[in-house]
């Protein structure tokens, strides 16, 4: 995905999940690498018979960086949720996870990588604000993410926020454990500054967990009206969203029901049909109208 061989002479389909390397050039080693990445993506866009992306937000970003791209060739096919997350781990496995990770009481869960655009330092500041408010003494923050080299800066943020006893880093966990943690969490939080799609909030909603997420990028598009949206640049607003959910059982139940319904709107089967229709279109092969309609 993203790029094509420069000498490719056959009909090609390229998948562009996001424009993160263009929006966050600090992830690349130098200015030359940024220019190279921009050129290679642009070359792929200009030579492709069809371009897939995963959200309308990503589609807009592609057209913003490459305004000369043909909008008719850009098709949105969303991601969906893996079966391992959808499968209920059951009471025995859930209890085993609670014991292994020493989970007691209410907790806020974050799952994903811990690169800077995931905005975890502001989340930690927000959690500090939350803990200062009455009724939240028992709440913990659990962070799942496997970039261990980033933990130093996050642990310093934890110390600065005065929540060292209430924040835990779990590192990588397997899918069956993650499925249990989603279901055990009081609320799932995802304050990312940018996502091509943003799968973790959808996974949490499929598990019936209330979600608080960013109002930016693709995330409102993914969660619809089934989550509490917050301004990720303002820790006070992240804290507001978390407290809103934690202190309102009726809202929790409502978000849980709406979240499950929203998650069920995404299907790998439908996405696969749309991808197949797109490839057939690129090859000049006619496809049934229903499959073609899925590729929009």
According to DSSP H, which parts of 101-146 are helical?
Answer: 120-132
pLDDT tens column, 114-134: 999 999 999 999 999 999 999
Res. 289: pLDDT tops 80: no
Cα(129)–Cα(259) distance, integer angstroms: 26
Cα(33)–Cα(53) distance, integer angstroms: 23
Q: How far is CA 257 from CA 27, 168, 223, 260, in A?
A: 38, 28, 13, 5
- What pTM, to 2 d.p., does this model score? 0.92
Rounded to 10 degrees, the C-alpha dihedral 44/117/140/90 comes to 0
Domains of the chain by residue range: 13-80+267-294, 83-263
pLDDT tens column, 84-114: 899 999 999 999 999 999 999 999 999 999 9
Res. 192: pLDDT tops 80: yes
Q: Mean pLDDT of all residues in the chain?
A: 93
Cα(56)–Cα(83) distance, integer angstroms: 25
DSSP per position, 235-295: HHHHHHHHHHHHT-HHHHHHHHHHHHHHHTT--HHHHHHHHHHHHHHHHT----HHHHHH-
83-263 CATH fold: Rossmann fold (3.40.50)
pLDDT tens column, 43-74: 999 999 999 999 999 999 999 999 999 999 99
Cα(198)–Cα(190) distance, integer angstroms: 9
Q: How many other β-carbons are positioned within 10 Å of the β-carbon of residue 123?
A: 28
In this structure, what are the phi and psi dihedrals at residue 240, rounded to the nearest 5 degrees? -60, -45
Q: Is 171 left (phi over 0), alpha (psi -120 to 50) or beta?
A: left
Strand pairing category for 167-169 and 187-190: unpaired
pLDDT tens column, 239-274: 999 999 999 999 999 999 999 999 999 999 999 999
**Burial code of 105-116, b = ≥16 C-beta within 10 A, e = fewer?**
eebbbbbbebbe
């Amino acid at each position: 995905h993203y790029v094509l061989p420069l000498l490719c002479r056959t009909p090609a389909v390229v998948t562009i999940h996001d424009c993160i390397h263009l929006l966050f050039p600090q992830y690349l080693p130098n200015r030359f690498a940024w220019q190279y990445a921009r050129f290679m993506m642009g070359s792929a866009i200009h030579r492709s018979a069809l371009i897939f992306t995963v959200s309308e937000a990503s589609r807009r970003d592609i057209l913003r960086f490459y305004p000369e791209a043909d909008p008719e060739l850009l098709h949105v096919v969303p991601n969906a949720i893996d079966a391992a997350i959808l499968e209920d781990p059951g009471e025995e496995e859930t209890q085993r996870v609670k014991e292994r990770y020493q989970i007691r009481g209410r907790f806020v869960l974050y799952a994903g990588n811990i690169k800077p655009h995931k905005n975890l330092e502001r989340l930690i500041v927000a959690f500090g604000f939350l803990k200062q408010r009455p009724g939240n003494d028992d709440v913990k923050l659990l962070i799942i993410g496997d970039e261990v080299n980033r933990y130093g800066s996050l642990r310093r943020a934890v110390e600065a926020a005065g929540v060292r006893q209430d924040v835990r880093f779990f590192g990588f966990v397997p899918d069956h454990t993650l499925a249990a943690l989603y279901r055990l969490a009081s609320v799932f939080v995802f304050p990312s500054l940018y996502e091509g799609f943003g799968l973790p909030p959808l996974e949490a909603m499929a598990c019936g967990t209330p979600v608080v997420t960013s109002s930016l990028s693709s995330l409102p598009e993914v969660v619809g009206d089934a989550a509490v949206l917050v301004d990720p640049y303002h820790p006070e607003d992240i804290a507001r969203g978390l407290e809103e959910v934690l202190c309102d059982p009726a809202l929790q139940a409502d978000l849980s029901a709406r979240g499950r319904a929203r998650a069920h709107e995404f299907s790998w089967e439908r996405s696969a049909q749309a991808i197949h229709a797109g490839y057939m279109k690129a090859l000049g092969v006619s496809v049934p109208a229903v499959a073609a309609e899925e590729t929009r």
